[in-house]
Amino acid sequence: MLVSSTNMRAGLIAGLLLLAPLADAVAAPARDFGQALQQRLVGGVGTPKTDRDGQDLQILGRFYEGRKLAPLWVVDGHPTPRASALLALLQGADADGLDSRHYGVARIQTLMERGDSPDAQAELEVLLSHGALDFGRDLATGRLEPSEVDTELYMDKREIDGQLLLTKLADNPDPAGVLLPLAPSRPEYARLRTALAQYRALAAAGGWKPVPAVGVSLKPGESDAERLPPLRDRLRVTGELAADAPVPEDPALFDEATVQALKLFQRRHGLEPDGVLGKQTVLALNVPADQRAAQIMMNLERWRWMPRDLGPNYILVNLAAFGLSIFEHDKVVHSARVVVGTTSTRTPVFSRNMSYLEVNPYWHVPAKIVRDEIFPKARKDPSYLAKHDYELLANGTEGAVAVDPATLDWAHMRGLPYRVRQKPGDKNSLGRIKMMFPNEFDIYLHDTPSKGLFNRANRSFSHGCIRVEHPFDVAETILRLTNTTNWDRAKLDAALETGERTIVRLKQPIPIHITYVTAFVEDDGTVDFRSDIYGRDRKLAAAMRASRVKLDAVEAEARTAPASAPQQPANPAPGLNPAPAVSGMGSVTP
């Protein structure tokens, strides 16, 4: 966890006090290993400078105090095989998208080769323990604190017991057996790790040459001698076009094989799969291989932030991919497309438990929409509210009394003395069902009357809530996985037909995890990338740089990754034109 400089100083002082009994010989030159180790533990001299220095000195001090200063990695003046095994692990940290330089590997290697004095051996001992501690924590929980990277990430970073970790390393001759299991065990993480190696290899081999950017889009069947040969070369590198695919007799012709390969590339990158070589597609094609590798690295970090136990059954929403998946024992049993918040009403990242469904819901309209959109219309036409199934309520309580709009003096009304809700029905902006996981953001899953939005590649249109395609199929799956046996699809349909608001409480809650993942790997090994619609890659890149991740490609990816052009919402609230897309924010929990 990132800590302030004040906290680091406080931790360092506490560490010094803890080690005071060991420090009598600090001022004098070290005469033996034990004295040299005391000096290193008190002063931290030679240890890598990290955000956790003060805390780490305390942990290391307690560990070696408990061992009566007995070394773990250096015996009889020589590094042990266990030390060599740990160095190899730290040198391989890059495979997990971490930076081996953070763990002092260069200095460790030098000391292992030439460290023959008591002071050098003590430095090596402390560096190895400190490197193991840092590497283990980074593997287990990530390098960065999510909330400090982005205030829209509401994730509780886990802490691991550093003292216990060092004790396990002391009890196990194989450091890999202790440290490697700390990394996420999920297949998504393992596949991304493999993809990182693939894209690093592509980058090392030269990556791909850019496709010329020309202002005019190239459509199937058209000809372009400048763009089509490099386009085919580009698609061959990442496999969308087979390496042995024949070139047409006219290489300048945008032939069917190239069109289909481009459509596959577009699907893998979250673009409209229309086979047209347009601006956004060219931008995605021309993101270099090392920047794609950096994008994979950032998403490995995101998986390290995730809870280790997502639940036996759970719902996973990927905002960047506009998708929802329901898992039963880690196997996807249902998937759906979703619509998420716009770039100005971004859906946050968090986890909660879904506890009930609501059929034929009311929509309790947020005050801002009432003030800016609904009341101006109602002032001009007092019948406007009734036309669109809006009710005017005296207050926001569940039993609030309805107010007749015809009795109001609209011309002289000031402020917002009333609440507005939309009655259940086909006009309701939440559709016919919503799925509730109570949270402070008033975010939930819900139906929508705007079914056409699900056919868009970019589906960021809501006020923050998550609209779900085929929501009753999603609800049916949730009922089964939560053992809510007193409800089935037939009973849901019957409740829908009544037109009355009906609450369906789940027999047991099901976790739902709202995530933001811009690089992931399909089951068949296909690597998919998504645009950074909310700018969260850019924030993570900046935080990684601030924490001394010296990877220029990380920030370069965030700057140049194709972003969707601003779009007007396709489903304004009924009768409002134009108006922001609506969602269920502001609902009243029963």
Active site residues: 446, 465
Distance (Å, whole) CA 110 – CA 105:
9
Closest to 445 (Cα-Cα) out of 517, 343, 337, 576 = 337
Q: Are 540 and 320 in contact (CB under 8 A)?
A: no
Contacts of 388 (CB under 8 A, 6+ apart): 422, 427, 573, 574, 575
Contacts of 222 (CB under 8 A, 6+ apart): 254
Q: Which residues of 98-125 are buried (b: 16+ CB within 10 A; e: fewer)?
A: bbbebbbbebbeebbeebeebbbbbbbb
Distance (Å, whole) CA 537 – CA 205:
26
Q: Which residues of 457-475 are buried (b: 16+ CB within 10 A; e: fewer)?
A: bbbbbbbbbbbbbebbebb
Identity of the residue numbered 486: N
CA 349 vs CA 150, 314, 428, 516, 530: distances in Å:
10, 16, 26, 7, 16
Distance (Å, whole) CA 12 – CA 478:
50
Q: Are 358 and 522 in contact (CB under 8 A)?
A: no
Contacts of 8 (CB under 8 A, 6+ apart): 51, 52, 53, 54, 55
Backbone phi and psi for residue 177, each to the nearest 5 degrees, phi listed first: -65, -20
The H or E element spanning position 378 is helix 375-380
* Locus of tokens 């509730």: 436
- Verify cis geometry, omega within 30 degrees of 0, for the bond prior to 578: yes
Closest to 269 (Cα-Cα) out of 561, 570, 576 = 561
Structure-token pair, residue 109: 């290697």
Identity of the residue numbered 136: G
Distance (Å, whole) CA 330 – CA 318:
16
* Locus of tokens 């965030």: 558
Distance (Å, whole) CA 469 – CA 322:
11
Structure-token pair, residue 388: 């669109």
Backbone phi and psi for residue 547, each to the nearest 5 degrees, phi listed first: -95, 20
